[in-house]
Structure 1
Amino acid sequence: MKYLPILSIAIAAVAAASSSAQNYRPSFRPDELNDRPVGEPNRVMVLGSPHLSQMPDSFQPRMVEPLVSRLVDWKPTAVTTETNAGLLCDAMRRQPARYDSDDLSYCFDTADANRATGLNVPAATAEAEQTLADWPQEPTPQMRRRLAVVFLAAGEPASALVQWLRLPDEERRADGALTPELASELDKRIARKNETDLIAARVAARSGLERVWSVDDQSTYMGPLQDEDAYGAALSSAWDTPATETRLARAEALERKIGEPGGLLQIYRAYNAPSYAAEAYQSDWGAALTEPSPQAYGRRYVSYWETRNLRMVANMREVLGRQPGTRMLAIVGASHKGYYEAYLNQMRDVELVDVMPLLR
């Protein structure tokens, strides 16, 4: 019995240590510092977007004009979009055991442009970067057409479209390596229903920029799942909640109004409202974290999602480092917006800008 007090003290110490571990917070909190960088800060405005390719048939490309005009008025000096960079896709294609056709479906097929230019993706990327480093104030139409086809060969079709949009209508034609087929591809992209072509490329072109930046990263590798059907069933079960029902019903109601005056702007206001990030989390990743399968499918899914967002924000931070004082417009699927802003808010050289005033 004389050992009981010592045992009690030991148990109490272990309990205290466990409690301390659970309550541990780092002493270094960049978001709480009040220092400022020298010169103009990097300003980032995140526009959460619906995926326009999934909008009902009543959605027409002309409906983006009020939104595009507002974004141009903000005077961005860089525009990022939720697309995979050509170099990333090139690296993924070289690892067929790791990435299958589904993973590569998010990548632009560069084969035709590679043949037309004689450049592979790394070589085309290098030429595009060198061309822009030596870019004159008033490039000729021929220079823009060449840069457009080089961007296609580099796996950067949105940047190729920026060059195409900056040409007068009569100069949008085949020229040398820019074959009639590739010129037709660019013509089709002008009205293609997605936020990269309809919004990001147009804003960049009208803002006097020469490209957009692809910052998505679909290279996250989760390891073998063994049973993909079980994985999908586990997540579907986790998402079967009142929060998800409410979120989907609200989205469907908004989409039904897209043909009304201001209908698209109304959707963007809803997806960029301060409450949206928490609603999305509760119906998606928060629900997945409580998924009880022995294989921890829900937690593996959240790991994929957070890894992807971290890499996307890291790509954005790299772009900001090219020209400190950048005004970056980041266009991304609305479900990413909360994560984007949470990660960016930790950075001392980034100042977040609220997009909501532009959407009114």
Structure 2
Amino acid sequence: MLAAGEPGSALVQWLRLPVAERHAGDGLTDDLVAGVVRYAARPNETAMIGATLAARLGLERLWSVDDHSADTPDGDDPAAAKAYGDAITRAWDNPATRERLAADTRFMAGLAQPGGVLAYYRWLNAPDAPMLAFRSDFGAALVERSPIQAGRRYVGYWETRNLRMVANIRDVLGRYPGMRLLAIVGASHKGYYEAYLNQMHDVRLTDTAAFLR
């Protein structure tokens, strides 16, 4: 899994080993072991939630869905890249963004308190969160009026990226009919995931509120 560029799945395999067997050997060098250990210690949901849960459930791997194949190079003209970035930054300067940042700051400040992490996740997964993200980001970009149509280009990229991510999810679900799947993704993707997956036959979404208690 390490050679395939799948550190999350490599960590699943590592965590499934008895503690006494988590050492170099059988082609796993000291450097590779150190890399897995460092990855396990990183504060990110793939390692802390995805790999840990998969190992606990006896699963063999995680499934990566975001290959960033929708990304395109900035081009050779620095001025054009700056104009694009400036236009998107101006679009993001709006009341919804300030509302979102204020709430994020408030919840982040309480992470160390009892229940703080779950409170943060509840806010990120609240029913109105996707619309706030849209108003502050993609919706604002759609109505910006730069001559280069930066906002429309940005939203085109974003929708394409999410479509490909959801297509990869649907591919996995199609391989294992009836399975349950936990998708771990940035909060701004959630509304798009739900919109696209709700169009799929044989896919039923479950509200995360039932689990974030």
**2:82 aligned residue (229, 235, 239):** 229
Gaps of 5+ in 1: 1-150
**1:185 aligned residue (22, 27, 35):** 35
* 1:82-93 → structure 2 map (5 Å cutoff): none
Give RMSD over aligned pairs.
1.1
Aligned to 1:336: 189
Aligned to 2:122: 269
After TM superposition, the score normalised by the length of structure 2 is 0.96
Aligned to 1:200: 50
How far residue 230 of structure 1 moved from its aligned partner, in angstroms, is 1.0
What is the rounded CA distance, in whole Å, between the counterparts of 1:195 and 1:208 in structure 2? 18
1:309 lines up with 2:162 in the alignment: yes
How far residue 217 of structure 1 moved from its aligned partner, in angstroms, is 2.6
Structure number with greater CO (CA < 8 Å, separation at least 6) is 1
CA shift in 2, pair 1:223/1:166, >3 Å? closer
Instruction: Report SS of the residue matched to 1:337.
Output: helix
> How many residues were matched structurally?
210
What is the rounded CA distance, in whole Å, between the counterparts of 2:72 and 2:156 in structure 1? 8
What is the rounded CA distance, in whole Å, between the counterparts of 2:93 and 2:176 in structure 1? 45
How far residue 221 of structure 1 moved from its aligned partner, in angstroms, is 4.1
**Identical aligned pairs, as a percentage?**
59
What is the rounded CA distance, in whole Å, between the counterparts of 2:204 and 2:26 in structure 1? 44
How far residue 350 of structure 1 moved from its aligned partner, in angstroms, is 0.4
Amino acid at match of 2:144: E
Aligned to 1:279: 132
How far residue 176 of structure 1 moved from its aligned partner, in angstroms, is 2.8
**1:254 aligned residue (101, 107, 114):** 107
* 1:58-207 → structure 2 map (5 Å cutoff): 151-207=1-57
How far residue 279 of structure 1 moved from its aligned partner, in angstroms, is 0.5
How far residue 190 of structure 1 moved from its aligned partner, in angstroms, is 1.9
Aligned to 1:80: none
Amino acid at match of 2:24: A
* 1:209-220 → structure 2 map (5 Å cutoff): 209-220=59-70
Amino acid at match of 2:167: A
How far residue 223 of structure 1 moved from its aligned partner, in angstroms, is 6.2
| C-alpha distance after superposition, 1:226-278 (max 9, x if no partner) | 41111111011001001100100100110000000010000000000000000
What is the rounded CA distance, in whole Å, between the counterparts of 1:224 and 1:172 in structure 2? 43
After TM superposition, the score normalised by the length of structure 1 is 0.57
